[in-house]
Amino acid sequence: MSEGGPERQSPDGIGTARAPSRRALLRLGAVAGTVVLTVRPGIAQAATSVLSCQIPVPDPARAGMAVAPDGSTVPAGTEGAFAGGRVFSGEQVREGLRGGNLPGTGYEESQAYLNYVRRLNYGRSGFTCYASLMVPR
């Protein structure tokens, strides 16, 4: 790369003629994709809003359901289950996952909601927020 001039001549005087063949071979029509991988910022960006993103418990599709201690959603009024209709911020859930209680809840209620959050999967409201909590920083 840092060779300044055009084809340098070797001391024995035969360098010039052979110089072109030393050029690197470049194949433009690569058979496989030339871009090996693209890492898009989606979830990394979501992590920046972790303080403010929200996780509804349960998600709107299950509004009116209660949350059992294991985090599953059950019909309202089920014995041992906790009423839903709560919304927690990403930061509150993160504190909860570290061992704290969610605001306004006792230990068991808090654990039920956190179990619900742990069971969230892709497509459920709050999942992206939960996933962004899991991104290491």
Least distance in angstroms from the C-beta of 67 to another protein? 36
- Tell me the CA distances in angstroms from 29 to 32, 33, 37, 110, one per residue in order: 9, 10, 18, 58
Q: What are phi and psi of 131, to 5 degrees?
A: -65, -35
Of these, 4, 5, 6, 29, which contacts another protein (CB under 8 A)?
Answer: 29
Our finding on whether 2 is near another protein (CB under 8 A) is no
| Identified binder of another protein from the candidate list 27, 121, 122, 123, rule CB under 8 A | 27
Running DSSP on this structure, what letter comes out for residue 24?
P
Taking the complex as a whole, the smallest distance from the CB of residue 47 to another protein amounts, in Å, to 12
Lookup: tokens for 7: 């084809």
Which one, 40 or 98, has the nearer CB to another protein? 40
Given 21, 77, 107, 121, the residue binding another protein (CB under 8 A): 21
Regarding 25 and contact with another protein (CB under 8 A), the answer is yes
Q: Which residue has the tokens 């090996």?
A: 36
User: In angstroms, what CA-CA distances link 11 with 7, 78, 120?
Assistant: 13, 92, 72
> Would you tell me which residues interact with another protein (CB under 8 A)?
20-21, 23-30, 33-41, 45
